[in-house]
Structure 1
Amino acid sequence: MQEVSIYQVDAFTSRAFGGNPAAICPVPAFLDPSVMQSIARENNLSETAFIVPREDRAEADYDLRWFTPSLEVDLCGHATLASGLVVIRHLEPALETVRFATRSGILQVTKRADGKLALEMPTLMPTPVTAPDGLAEAMGAIPEAVLHRGRDYLLIYREPQIIQRLHPDMRALQAYAPYGFIATAPGTDGVDFVSRCFFPNHGIPEDPVTGSAHCLSGPYWAERFGRSELHALQISARGGELWITVKGDRIELAGSAVEVMRGALYLSH
C-alpha cells in the first residue's frame, strides 16, 4: 500500500474556511495520470496539486501539475499559492521563493515581509469578441462587453450588485464547452473590481477564488483604470481577496493562505 502526504490549504484568505481550498500532494515522482485524477475526484475540491522536487534546480525547484475533479488543467493560481505555502512552511523552510515548472511556464511564490504570499503568473490580456448566442440568458444578466482568452470568457457588468445576484444556468453554460466564465464589475469602498467565476465544463459550477481568472481580469481593469496596482474581491460564498500588480507580460497576485488539514492518502494496489 502506497502512502501519499496531503495538505489542504485555503488560499487567498486570512481565515480558515474562506478563500479557495486546494489539496497539495508532495510526491517523489508524478503518479500515473489516472491515479492523480482519481485522487482529485476523491478530494472533490476545485484543484488538487501534485508537486515533485527537481534534481536540477537551474530553472525551477519543483514540477507542478493541477487536476480538477474531472480533468487536468493548464493553469491554476490558488493551488500554486497553496503549494508555495506547503513548500515554504514544511518542505524547505529556508526558501523564501519557490519556483514551479508547469504547463504554463515557470511560476513562483514568494513569502513577503507582511506575511502574504506573492504569486507571479503570466499576464493574459483578453480581446473583445461578439457574445455567443444565448450566453447572456445562460448567465442571467446581459453583460456590457464580452472578451475572450484561451478557455475563458470575461464578461463585464456595470456594477457589483449584478455580479452578486447572478444565478447562471449551469446546464446551459455546458453547451459552451470547454469554456469557463468570469463575471466581473467595478468595485466600491476601496475595492477596484469584483468577480465571480463559473466553470461547469471543468467540473466546478462556481469556483470560490480563481487566481488564473485574475490573469485576464487584472490586465483588463488595469488598462481601463490606467494603473497597474489593484485590489480585488471574488465575491463567492467563501470569498477571497487579492492584491494585484500588473508588470508587463507578468502579473503578481498577492494574498494570504491558511493551512486547515494535514494527513495521508492510502493507495491500494
Structure 2
Amino acid sequence: MPELKEELYQKIAAEMNLSETAFITCRKPTEDFSSGARFGLRWFTPTSEIRLCGHATLASAAVLFYEKKNTNSVLAFETLSGELLVHQRGDSLVMDFPLNKPEVQDKKKFNDIIKAAVGDLPIEEVCYCKTTKKLLVRLLDTCDRSVLTSLSPVSESLLKSEDSGRVKSLIITVKGASSSQPGYDFYSRNFAPWVGVPEDPVTGSAHTVLGAYWSEKLGKKKMLAYQCSRRGGELELELRGSRIDIAGQAVVLLRGILKLIFAGSPRHTQ
C-alpha cells in the first residue's frame, strides 16, 4: 500500500478495532509485494502506534508468502524496533526478533498493579523490561495453568493502579508442566489497556521478554510456550545470543478491499 498520513493509519486501526493493525509498504518503486524482499512495517492499536508486535508481523509475512506468492526465502521488515526477518519453515513462519531481558524488581514498587491484576495470589518474582515497558509478574509454582486462565483483571482497575507511564503492558506467567503433553515450558497472558488492548491473544513482543526470563530460569535455549487467552496460541522459541526466533503458524481468514476516499476520489488498498 502507499504511504498514508499518520492520522489515517490511526483511524483505520481504530476502525479495525483489533489488537494491532499492520501496514506494509514497498521500499523500492521497482518492486511489488510479490517480488520485493524488503518492506516497511508499522503497527497500530486502536489508540496508538507501537514499537514491536509479533502476531501482526506473522500476519504480514503470511500475506506476502501465501497471498502474494512472494518469491524470496527471507523477508526483511524495517520497523521502529530495527530490522526484523521472517522465513518459512515447513508450515510455520519464523520471526527473528530482538531479545529483551527484564530486570528483577522490588514487588513493593508495583503493589497496586499486582493487586489489581492477580489479587492475593502468591507471587514468585516481579521483573521489568525498560526497553519495552513490559512488567512481568510470575506466579508461584504452586499456581498452574488453570489459575492463570481464571484471572479476569479489569482494564479500568489496571489503568488506575498504574498511570505513571512506566508500564505499557502487563505479562502474567507461570511455569509449565513438562510432564504433560505437549510439554509447555511456561504459560502466559498479556494485558495492555495502556495502549488500547484489554488483552492481547498471542503476543510475540511479550515473548522477547518471556523468552529471556524463562531461558535463564530453566537453563534452556529452545522452549515451547503457550499464551492462554481465549484465542490463545503456541509459540516455539529459540535464543540466539541477543536475538530470539519465534515460530508460529498463520491462517488467512478474510480477504477484502479497503476503499479510502482522497479529495473526493476513491482509492483501493489492501
Aligned to 2:63: 86
Letter in 2 for 1:97: V
Mapping 1:157-176, distance limit 5 Å: 157-158=139-140, 159=143, 160-175=145-160, 176=162
In structure 2, what is the Cα distance between the partners aligned to 1:252 and 1:102? 17
2:82 counterpart of 1:100: no
Aligned pairs, how many?
Answer: 240
Say which SS state the counterpart of residue 133 (structure 1) adopts: helix
Verify the 8 A CA contact 1:138 1:170 in the aligned structure 2: no
Mapping 1:59-138, distance limit 5 Å: 61-112=38-89, 114-131=90-107, 132-138=110-116
In structure 1, what is the Cα distance between the partners aligned to 2:126 and 2:154? 18
2:190 counterpart of 1:197: yes
Identify the match of residue 54 of structure 1 among 23, 27, 46. 27
In structure 1, what is the Cα distance between the partners aligned to 2:256 and 2:187? 34
TM-score normalized by structure 2? 0.85
Aligned to 2:268: none
Verify the 8 A CA contact 1:136 1:142 in the aligned structure 2: no
In structure 2, what is the Cα distance between the partners aligned to 1:70 and 1:130? 31
Say which SS state the counterpart of residue 94 (structure 1) adopts: coil
Larger radius of gyration: 2
Identify the match of residue 36 of structure 1 among 9, 22, 46. 9
TM-score normalized by structure 1? 0.85
In structure 2, what is the Cα distance between the partners aligned to 1:266 and 1:53? 19
Identify unmatched segments of 5+ residues in structure 1.
1-26
Aligned to 1:213: 206
Say which SS state the counterpart of residue 245 (structure 1) adopts: strand
Fraction of identical pairs, as percent = 40
In structure 2, what is the Cα distance between the partners aligned to 1:242 and 1:78? 11
Aligned to 1:258: 251
| Structure with the larger RCO, 1 or 2 (CA within 8 Å, 6+ apart) | 1
Aligned to 1:244: 237
In structure 2, what is the Cα distance between the partners aligned to 1:257 and 1:187? 24
Verify the 8 A CA contact 1:118 1:253 in the aligned structure 2: yes
Letter in 2 for 1:69: P
2:140 counterpart of 1:147: no
Bigger shift: residues 172-181 or 252-261:
172-181
Identify unmatched segments of 5+ residues in structure 2.
32-36, 263-270
Letter in 1 for 2:159: Q
RMSD after superposition: 1.7
Verify the 8 A CA contact 1:99 1:109 in the aligned structure 2: yes
Say which SS state the counterpart of residue 205 (structure 2) adopts: coil
In structure 2, what is the Cα distance between the partners aligned to 1:249 and 1:108? 14
Say which SS state the counterpart of residue 191 (structure 1) adopts: coil
Letter in 2 for 1:103: L
Letter in 2 for 1:262: R
Letter in 2 for 1:93: N
Say which SS state the counterpart of residue 260 (structure 1) adopts: coil
Say which SS state the counterpart of residue 46 (structure 2) adopts: coil
Superposition deviation, residue 142 in structure 1: 4.2
